[in-house]
Structure 1
Amino acid sequence: MNPSPPLAPGLPVLGNALRMMGDVQQFLVDTYRQMGPVYRVRALNQAFVIMAGERANRFLLERGDEVFSSEVSFGGLNSEFGMRVHVLRGRPHRHLRKVLATGLSRDLLAARWDDVTAATERELAQWRGQRALPVVDRCQRLAAAQLSVAFTGANSAARFATLRSAFELVLDVTIAGKWPAAALKLPAYRRARAEILAFARSCLAERAAHPTGGPADLLDRANEAKDENGNPYPLEVRAGMALQGYFAGINTVAYLYSFMMYALARHPDVRARVLAEVDAAYDGDRLDFERLRGLPALHGLVLETLRVYPPAPGSARTVLEDFDFEGFRIERGKRVLVATSVPHQLAEHFPEPELFDIDRDFAAGRRASVYAPFSVGSHTCLGAGMTEVLAVATVAMMVRRLTVTAPDRPLRITATPGPNPGRRFAVTVAGRPKI
């Protein structure tokens, strides 16, 4: 029988916790170079097997559904908010993903384009003149406004603080292991959870009683959704579907915006190309949705930001049955993190990976499963395509209106609840000189 994977060096008691709570992507890349494609890590009371590199991505893509479960890692999203899609496998999982995808489509964003751009412009207008804009906070508020308008037709800004605090606590407890499970019993959290679930149920009831007559969105799809056997989903699952679009996307989208702002400030050559492209794309004071397709520099900016600062550096799973990988035995019950974004920093896949290059061949990387900012396989982020389109549109509107200046120092990246520039990352925002 093959041996267990080797243990990565770490600190007494803490293990690898400090580095994994910081720039986790860099930690995974550095440790891959030191230890190879499979090894074990410790982080306080948690232990993981790390699988990394091109063959790990291929394994997840080809055998992930057979040997892995996501229920332990993501079960909190289901038990707390009815987000069942994160824990299903096989046919039930494929079916629910398909149902959700119809409510998170690019076509829906196109249909509500004027409403989404109006919400975006309102948020960006509040940034102008800020000498120390808290980037992560404001980008989260912007993303919440955009996603709720696109997916449900109504802005969720009034409940933003409740949504954010509750969602981040669930992630920190159930996925990151930052806090004990008892944190989910605290009265403040229980009140917030109850408020969020009541809000979701009321949105579904309101839509059922008063259909919009417009294109079917996430609320419409949730109200009419049936499972793989043709039976209506329980109310708690339909409420989870209603929350899924903007609730689960607040952090992912916001962190991408935050990192793009930093990248534009640090790379004036990229900013110049983006500005010229955006100015040419505008028709008077409006950016037409169809013109988003013809912005190669902006698309390159989004994709390169996702390469350097991936929102999901790894996919957490639990092993269902023993298997061998790269000469080592990984046993049933072990927690595994498939570090899907490690190839982003390997020169054999992306030449000179330390350079910020918006002209890379990202399509080839996707085909080879080595460009994987949203993971690979059956649990790839449902909103990945929408996120990329919305990011192109948002940066276009931002650079058209605003001039952003960032401090000339490296970011202090934190990994909780997902990789982000940290709460202290602030920028100066001025209005852009009249065009």
Structure 2
Amino acid sequence: MHGMAVLPLPPVVPGIPLLGNALPMMGDVQRFLVDTHLRMGPVFRVRALNQAFVIMAGERANRFLLEHGDEVFSSEESFGGLNREWTMRVHVLRGRPHRHLRKILATGLSRDLLAARWDDVVAETERTFRGWQGRSALPVVDQFQRLAAAQLSLALTGESSAAEFEKLRSAFELVLDVTVTGKWPAAALKWPAYRRARAEIHEFARNALSQRAANPRHDTTDLLDRALAAVDENGDPYPLDVRAGMALQGYFAGVNTVAYLYSFMVYAMLRHPGVLARVTTEVDAAYDDGGLTFERLRGMPALHGLVMETLRVYPPAPGSARTVLKSFDFAGFRIEEGRRVLVATSVPHQLPEHFPDPGTFDIDRDFAAGRKASVYAPFSVGSHTCLGAGMTEVLAVATMAMLVRNLKATLPRPDQPLRITATPGPNPGKRFKVAVTERTI
């Protein structure tokens, strides 16, 4: 500790008065993190309005999070709001309690549930796509949010959450904007409209659990069943509010992360006609050879490559926000206890030493090698890696296959660059729209 005290603090990224680095971080935050890493090195400090962060970036930062994250970091300050507001306890636990609850949730968010309810998910997806036909300016993010929430609620619980969608989306996004991104002050969570929505969503989750308890389903064991049966690491039943938070976990993921991935995939295909042509050929071959079954999803390399490359270029979580529990040194600098840190886990995605010619959209990359080396990390690394990553990747393959088979999408203004926003996570924004017609085969 004595030697650490003489180390300098990380350098500060120049910004503008009052706002600091807020403007670039509210836009394409991944680009900002990569460019700043290349300019300033593996660790630096940024300020955005009233928030200050230490940014750790690069392969070494990912390895540090993987090997030492549980020892020196806490997620309470960054993700405690999800627990306080929605009793999503897994985001703030550490050690044995965290590993235990993750194991329970992993089985409740498994891709096996998608296989078990494949026909229902396909029917809902194709019904949605039929409703898009003939739209000249379809708001992509909004419509994919609705679809992803419906798909995941069907797969994870066997029920639709469509009636609750508006409340779920607005409430979840506000909590993220307050507690994670800091866009709004904490007082926003006291707004009457939010408090009403929060109470109604909690009631919705508790009712879903009570109805399942009274009317068990026997087709498969899903997220609701896991929540009802869950006991903590000591064998004691979790409180009802924690079970409700477990039930909401799937809806929470679908509203944003999955929908943003879908949206970026559509943009990538439309901007890269060669990729679209390869995907279309692969999809048509699957349909012509007996239809799009769940088992057939594994044998679609072009679509898998599209998912992986989209996650590389447009990662849904460019970094993992943490708070330092005890001071440590990194790359010759002192990171002090109490500091908020963002480990920019997706920065290596854009470094040529890990992904040659990173500016080229290439669906044939060796993603497995990058994942093994922890430099391909669209869902973070370490003990807090996204629980729904596997489900997300398979569902993205399936959804894009059905979209390509049924619809033809075009950019109304092909020359208009994509304007990425970081609120509450990186996404193409409300202005991203496409024209949609029925595909003639």
TM-score (norm 1): 0.99
| 1:431 partnered with 2:413 | no
Q: Distance in 1 between matches of 2:274 and 2:18?
A: 45
Residue matched to 1:414: 421
Q: Which range moved further: 241-250 or 221-230?
A: 241-250
Give 1:354 shift: 0.3
- SS of corresponding position for 2:85: helix
- SS of corresponding position for 1:253: helix
Give 1:248 shift: 2.8
Give 1:283 shift: 4.8
Q: Distance in 2 between matches of 1:354 and 1:268?
A: 16
Residue matched to 1:128: 133
- SS of corresponding position for 1:58: helix
Q: Distance in 1 between matches of 2:387 and 2:318?
A: 16
Q: Which amino acid aligns with 1:426?
A: K
**Which of the residues 169, 175, 192 maps onto 2:174?**
169
| 1:180 partnered with 2:194 | no
- SS of corresponding position for 1:270: helix
| 1:213 partnered with 2:221 | no
Q: Distance in 2 between matches of 1:282 and 1:96?
A: 39
Q: Distance in 2 between matches of 1:233 and 1:250?
A: 25
Q: Distance in 2 between matches of 1:249 and 1:323?
A: 36
**Which of the residues 5, 8, 13 maps onto 2:13?**
8
Q: Which amino acid aligns with 2:132?
A: W
Q: Distance in 2 between matches of 1:162 and 1:286?
A: 36
Q: Distance in 2 between matches of 1:80 and 1:214?
A: 32
Give 1:285 shift: 7.5
- SS of corresponding position for 1:199: helix
**Which of the residues 271, 274, 290 maps onto 1:269?**
274
Q: Distance in 1 between matches of 2:172 and 2:221?
A: 26
- SS of corresponding position for 1:282: helix
Runs (4+) of structure 1 exceeding 3 A deviation are: 283-286
Q: Distance in 1 between matches of 2:219 and 2:303?
A: 30
| CA RMSD across the alignment | 0.8
Seq. identity, %? 78
Q: Which amino acid aligns with 1:310?
A: P
Which runs of 5 or more residues in structure 1 are unaligned?
none
Q: Which amino acid aligns with 2:161?
A: S
Residue matched to 1:144: 149
| Contact residue 145 and residue 254 of structure 2 kept, 8 A | no
**Which of the residues 44, 49, 52 maps onto 1:47?**
52
Q: Which amino acid aligns with 2:225?
A: D
Q: Distance in 2 between matches of 1:66 and 1:116?
A: 41
Q: Which amino acid aligns with 1:385?
A: G
Residue matched to 1:257: 262
| Contact residue 56 and residue 343 of structure 2 kept, 8 A | yes
Give 1:200 shift: 0.1
Residue matched to 2:3: none
Deviations 1:319-372 (A, max 9, x none): 000000000000000000000000000000000000000000000000000000
Q: Distance in 2 between matches of 1:250 and 1:192?
A: 16
1:195-206 alignment, distance < 5 Å? 195-206=200-211
Residue matched to 2:84: 79
Q: Distance in 1 between matches of 2:410 and 2:290?
A: 24
Q: Distance in 1 between matches of 2:165 and 2:70?
A: 35
Q: Which amino acid aligns with 1:51?
A: M
Change in 2 beyond 3 A, CA 1:285/1:162: farther
- SS of corresponding position for 1:163: helix
Q: Which amino acid aligns with 1:223?
A: L
Q: Distance in 2 between matches of 1:219 and 1:240?
A: 11
Q: Distance in 2 between matches of 1:158 and 1:122?
A: 17
Q: Which amino acid aligns with 2:314?
A: Y
- SS of corresponding position for 1:126: helix
TM-score (norm 2): 0.98
Residue matched to 1:389: 394
Q: Distance in 1 between matches of 2:253 and 2:89?
A: 13
Q: Distance in 2 between matches of 1:277 and 1:72?
A: 45
**Which of the residues 282, 303, 306 maps onto 1:301?**
306
Give 1:284 shift: 6.8
1:41-120 alignment, distance < 5 Å? 41-120=46-125
Deviations 1:17-47 (A, max 9, x none): 0000000000000000111000000000000
- SS of corresponding position for 1:378: helix
Give 1:249 shift: 2.8
1:213-232 alignment, distance < 5 Å? 213-232=218-237
Residue matched to 2:380: 375
Deviations 1:101-153 (A, max 9, x none): 11111111100000011111111111111000000000000000000000000
1:278-293 alignment, distance < 5 Å? 278-283=283-288, 286-293=291-298
- SS of corresponding position for 1:430: strand
**Which of the residues 332, 354, 369 maps onto 1:327?**
332
Which runs of 5 or more residues in structure 2 are unaligned?
1-5
Q: Distance in 2 between matches of 1:179 and 1:372?
A: 28
Q: Distance in 2 between matches of 1:35 and 1:249?
A: 35
The alignment of Structure 1 onto Structure 2 pairs a total of residues equal to: 434
Q: Distance in 2 between matches of 1:168 and 1:186?
A: 14
Q: Distance in 1 between matches of 2:132 and 2:256?
A: 19
Q: Distance in 2 between matches of 1:359 and 1:248?
A: 28
1:230-241 alignment, distance < 5 Å? 230-241=235-246
